[in-house]
Chain A
Amino acid sequence: MSDHVVPVRVYLAVFAALMVLTGLTVAVWRMDLGVFATPVALGIAMLKAVLVILYFMHVKYNDKLTKLVAASGFFFLVILFGITILDYWARGRLNPETRLPGAVHLEDK
């Protein structure tokens, strides 16, 4: 279905949504939400990315195989982040001698 011609108004609607979300990103930054600031900023960024992927990159109209490959990049990204963060967080928990100087802060959070 990659031949699907998306109506122009869809692009304009997505553009408007992306502009509003960009404004919102700055607005929440200025409000200073404390511990929620980063999750909210990342949440908005992810929503924007999903809009671009689904509509501008036509994934919404693509076949399942393309959807799977598109998702796979993010799947492996989660593995990369997850295992590395877990490693830093867990270093030195069983044996303090294996602590990395850097891991202390992550652990103490």
Chain B
Amino acid sequence: MTLKKMNQKGFVVNTIVLACLFFLLALLSNTGAGKGNFFRLVLTPSLWQCGYLIILATSLNMVLGFMGQLSLCHCAFMAIGAYTAALMSLAFQRAGVFKSPKGAVFILIMFLSILCGGLLAAAFGFIVGIPALRLKGDYLAIITLGFGMIIVNVINNLPFCGQNGLAEGSAGSSLYKNGLGFGMKTKVTYLWVAILLTILAVVMMFKYVRSKFGRAIQAIRDDEIAAAASGINTAHYKVLTFAYSAFFAGIAGGLYACANGSISTSSFAFTNGGILNSTFVVVMVVLGGMGSLTGSIVAAVLMFFVNYEIKNGAWVAMLPSGIQGIFKYPMLVYAFVLIVVILFRPKGIFGDYEFSLVHVREDLAKHRALKAQEKAEMKGV
């Protein structure tokens, strides 16, 4: 069997399942169930949030898990994406391209704004990556932290981004009132946009890490000197991956802006206790497993559940009352769980395992066989 055929089987199965899931949700949002309060007020905003968190975590995993470079400015790229998308849609609306946030024109502009957010974030990823990626390890972490701080601080001081400029309020808090205008969670619509973009982004990242690019960056992670000695242009692949990852962070930012209706730089800042803080994204990636996009997805959803916005929400109310008490201090529990997981499973929940619908059973069997074989060989030698 050729490589292509082997992969196509999995591709077809995964696509069919994803498509079914997608249509189910799209249908749900239009039928009676979709009009219900639970769907509109709880499920839809939850899925929007999960969507951008998943993109955020998986895109950082490319840099951190696959390339082994610790970046602490991922949320700054997200901020760039969010502000670009917000300002663009605002400009279109002021120009009178669309009046109310509905219809084909509006959707087109929404996609365009989000895409531009991603592209600008990628451009910044490129600019930051060239100098920063010359450093390694802790020093890279610190310099990216510095760049992240500067980006957020400068956005905060741009006259057209809030603080001093926009008449409506401080730090862009009303940027969206006239833009995409999904409003707060009571009004989040167009769920399919979030789901479509999330699936697309994750699939694109999967393809990336499974190609020569993925092999090159994993080689850089394991041994940069040996990678260079194997003919890999390390600087090229590092900057490319950094920019590609920033692109998706920008897309996540665009989604975030759409979902929230208002944005403020303080949500992307380091000192902020919320979840859009670059260190938390790092935590998500490590918790899920560095080098496992599946792990990042699971960790992002987990992160969503401890998010303070949801702690008083409907999700907690569904739990048995005994457990609800935990969510009084969700971050405390989260920190505790994190320490325990790291202590007992230093490689994260998933390690570098990737979930695939066709391969679940085979994977488990293969894993066992491989372990046994390795053990036997090691003894033999």
Instruction: Specify whether A and B are partners.
Output: no
